[in-house]
Amino acid sequence: MQLALFIIFGALAVAGALNFLFQRHPINSALSLVVVMMSLAVLYWSLGAEFLAAAQVIVYSGAIMVLFVFVVMLLNAGEEERTRGSRAAYVAGFPGAAAIFCLLSFVFLTERKALGAVSLGGHLNHAVSNISEISTLLFRDLLLPFEVTSILILVAILGAVVLARKEQ
């Protein structure tokens, strides 16, 4: 049963993510992202993490996606036209992406403790039913990844505003 749930909702999450990438209209992309978030919530639930599943639905599928849709509607973003990228963007983009990948790999491999590589085995047994244990893990042992995630969400929102803003 759990394997069937994983295969079905994992495939649904991948299909939703691909649909998110290839949509031209921002509202359709946001709805595809809701499908991904709901699929992840079902996967969390199937693993026995009911609190994480509920938080996924409330925080990401609810609040964050409403914020994204609100920003898109506020900026009156329509269907995006596909344009060919400039050669300079390709020349600068690939080495830039490779440099970021190498830097993140170096940081991840050398600073595992700072990035939250803590032993979660003993904590997770109690954390499934104990909210205070989850909060202790998030805000003490996994503080840096938690803050990096919040900064990543902020950058994504700013990127959406910049991309959706029409030239004046």
Which residues constitute the domain of residue 50?
A: 1-82
User: 51 and 121, same structural domain?
Assistant: no
For the chain, what is the mean pLDDT?
77
User: Does 2 share its domain with 52?
Assistant: yes
Number of domains in the chain: 3
105 in the same domain as 48? no
What are the tens digits of pLDDT across the range 26-54? 888 888 989 999 999 998 888 877 888 88
User: What's the whole-model pTM score?
Assistant: 0.55
Query: What CA–CA distances, in Å, run from 55 to 51, 60, 64, 86, 138?
Result: 6, 8, 12, 41, 14
What is the distance, to the nearest Å, from the Cα of residue 100 to the centroid of all Cα atoms in its chain? 18
pLDDT grade for 14, boundaries at 50, 70 and 90: very high
Final residue of a domain: which of 73, 91, 112? 112
CATH assignment of the domain containing 46: 1.20.120.1200
